[in-house]
Amino acid sequence: MLVEETDVKDASTRAWVYPLSVKGRFQRLHRWSGLALQAVLFVVPWLSLHGAPLVRIDIPARRLYAFGSIFTAQDTVFLVLMGLFAAFSLFFFTSLFGRLWCGFACPQTVFLEEWIRPIERFIEGERGVRMARDKGAWSAEKIARKAAKFTAFAGVAGLVAMVVVSWFAGAHALWTGAASMGAYGMVGIFSAVLFLDFAWFREQFCNYVCPYARFQGALSDDESLIVSYNAGRGEPRRAPGTKAVLGAGTLLSSSLAFGGEAAGTGACIDCKKCVAVCPQGIDIREGFQLECIACARCIDACEPIMAKNGQVSLIGYTSLSKSRWIRPRTVAYGGLLSAVGAAFLALLAGRSEVQATMNRAPGPLYVVDADGWVRNTYLLRLTNNSAKAEHYTFSLGGLPADAEAALPPVDLATDASVVLPVIVRLPAGDVSSRTLALSLTIDAQEGGDSISLATTFKTPGTDGT
Ligand code: SF4
Ligand code: SF4
């Protein structure tokens, strides 16, 4: 039973969508891409490098752990560049490939297709059975199946919420009950939102909430890849079971290759399988619609129907006009993407894994000690942003050789900070200028970065300022 009654979306009221299951090459691709993305989502929060998380967004501490580096609030420029890179990547790939993100990589699609719909089919049956049951009266069996389905959905929602929050709170802490109450509160909120989405909201998220869906029309053009129906070959439609009339171009080997017109009636037998499988509840034969998420289920549905008559699918990935890789839009987005990527890499190459600032301690600029030496006191704030523990040593530069500093070596664990008083003294005989240049070099002995800080040493001297 494909379409006993229409479940195509009405403009004013929502008609529940009962997607028919479908097999095909794009669904296999979807399965593999979904598995790969879920592997990343589920596994990465458990990985660590040199004792620090491989990737973790620690919002309370305002830290991002990423592949052995730790980015803090002072690295905001990297976060901005990462955000811009993600945005321009989306713009660039949308201009070339349309909504492939929606169809194959968006978590909404992945979780609905890989978890929710299979669970629904397992518990409630295939499309026709579900439609008939929903239309029928409530019974003990109907209540039991709905209860089982929603319980399973709640389980999936809770699991996904735990995994998502693991990226922020840390997987070990969250799954062992050691995370903060705020983290578990977020799990509760995410679980509720995801359950609502899985159980009821579904395709409406793409149609009414997702910002990417709203502006993707502005990012693509007639040359972007879309899923479309070849009305030239398909129309006028024939009744199901009517013998096919082969037209020119019907024996092409790829569904991407459209063209040719059927003689007399069109090749579409109006079986509506492409409509029945659509998770968005649209009929692609009515032309391109913003609701289409380019999931290619309709292509997989039409392919075997047309193959029976030796034809390629009437639906395929194509563009409204001849597609060129190089055009103003792709060049602009590609250029911006490259510029942001290059800036990120350049800044990253120059970024130090040790973060240090040295400021004067509160009080007078200098003190003349009882032995006549001039003393300046600073506060050194040192943070180890590398993914391994470090042993730091210090050396002074710029001052005469007999200057002395009280600054013993220090060990810092990964992500640890320390504030150290730095006392620098200079013999009275070396004092001439009021201001002397001073540098402090911080050497990481375990292979990390070394940096130098520049400051000044103040004296009661009379030369200069
Ligand atoms: S029309 Fe086809 S590609 Fe578009 S959402 Fe429906 S099934 Fe997916
Ligand atoms: S699956 Fe193909 S043949 Fe059937 S209605 Fe859709 S376009 Fe026509």
Helix ranges (H only) for 98-230 are 100, 107-111, 117-124, 127-135, 140-169, 171-175, 181-196, 203-204, 211-219
- Mean pLDDT is lowest, of 7-21, 174-188, 256-270, 393-407, for 256-270
Mutating to test ligand 2, I would choose from 274, 303, 313 the residue with most ligand atoms within 8 A of its C-beta, which is 274
226 closest CA partner among 293, 164, 169: 293
- Average pLDDT of the residues in 391-411: 88
| Distance in angstroms (rounded) separating the CA atoms of residues 208 and 150 | 24
Mutating to test ligand 1, I would choose from 274, 282, 286 the residue with most ligand atoms within 8 A of its C-beta, which is 282
Q: Which DSSP state fits 248?
A: T
- Average pLDDT of the residues in 77-89: 92
pLDDT confidence of 189, banded at 50, 70, 90? Answer: very high
At 239-284, the pLDDT tens digits run 766 654 444 333 333 333 344 444 568 899 999 999 999 999 999 9
Ligand 2 contacts CB of residue 271 (under 6 A): yes
How far away, in angstroms, is 248 Cα from ligand 2 center? Answer: 18
What local confidence, expressed as pLDDT, does residue 394 receive?
92
Contacts of 424 (CB under 8 A, 6+ apart): 375, 376, 377, 378, 396, 399, 403, 404, 405, 438, 457
At 105-154, the pLDDT tens digits run 999 999 999 999 999 999 999 999 999 999 999 999 999 999 999 999 99
Q: Please tell me the residue having the least CA distance from ligand 1 atom 7.
A: 278
What local confidence, expressed as pLDDT, does residue 344 receive?
92
- Mean pLDDT is lowest, of 66-70, 79-83, 321-325, 445-449, for 321-325
How far away, in angstroms, is 217 Cα from ligand 2 center? Answer: 26
Higher pLDDT, 8 or 423: 423
Say if residue 279 is preceded by a cis peptide, omega within 30 of 0.
Answer: no
What local confidence, expressed as pLDDT, does residue 375 receive?
93
* Domain 354-458 grouped into CATH 2.40.160.20: no
How far away, in angstroms, is 93 Cα from ligand 2 center? Answer: 29
Structure tokens at 117: 């719909």
Q: Please tell me the residue having the least CA distance from ligand 1 atom 8.
A: 295
Where is 330: in which H helix or E strand?
helix 328-349
Amino acid occupying residue 51: G
Query: Treating both helix axes as pointing N-terminal to C-terminal, what angle do 117-124 and 127-135 enclose, rounded to 10 degrees?
Result: 70
How far away, in angstroms, is 26 Cα from ligand 1 center? Answer: 12
Cβ contact 153:200 at 8 Å:
no
Ligand 2 contacts CB of residue 314 (under 6 A): yes
Q: What angle do CA 139, 141, 147 make, to 5 degrees?
A: 105
Ligand 2 contacts CB of residue 30 (under 6 A): no
Mutating to test ligand 1, I would choose from 17, 216, 278 the residue with most ligand atoms within 8 A of its C-beta, which is 278
Q: Please tell me the residue having the least CA distance from ligand 2 atom 2.
A: 302
Domain residue extents for the chain: 25-221+326-345, 354-458
Cβ contact 169:180 at 8 Å:
yes
Cβ contacts of 408-415, under 8 Å, gap ≥ 24: 409/445, 410/382, 412/382, 412/383, 412/384, 413/384, 413/389, 414/50, 414/51, 414/52, 414/70, 414/384, 414/386, 414/387, 414/388, 414/389, 415/52, 415/63, 415/70, 415/383, 415/384, 415/385
Ligand 1 contacts CB of residue 296 (under 6 A): yes
Proximal ligand: closest to the CA of 278: 1
Mean pLDDT taken over the chain = 87
Q: Which DSSP state fits 201?
A: I
- Percent of the chain having pLDDT more than 90? 60
Mutating to test ligand 1, I would choose from 100, 283, 292, 300 the residue with most ligand atoms within 8 A of its C-beta, which is 292
Q: Please tell me the residue having the least CA distance from ligand 2 atom 4.
A: 271
| Distance in angstroms (rounded) separating the CA atoms of residues 280 and 206 | 9
Ligand 2 contacts CB of residue 274 (under 6 A): yes
At 331-342, the pLDDT tens digits run 999 999 999 999
What local confidence, expressed as pLDDT, does residue 247 receive?
41
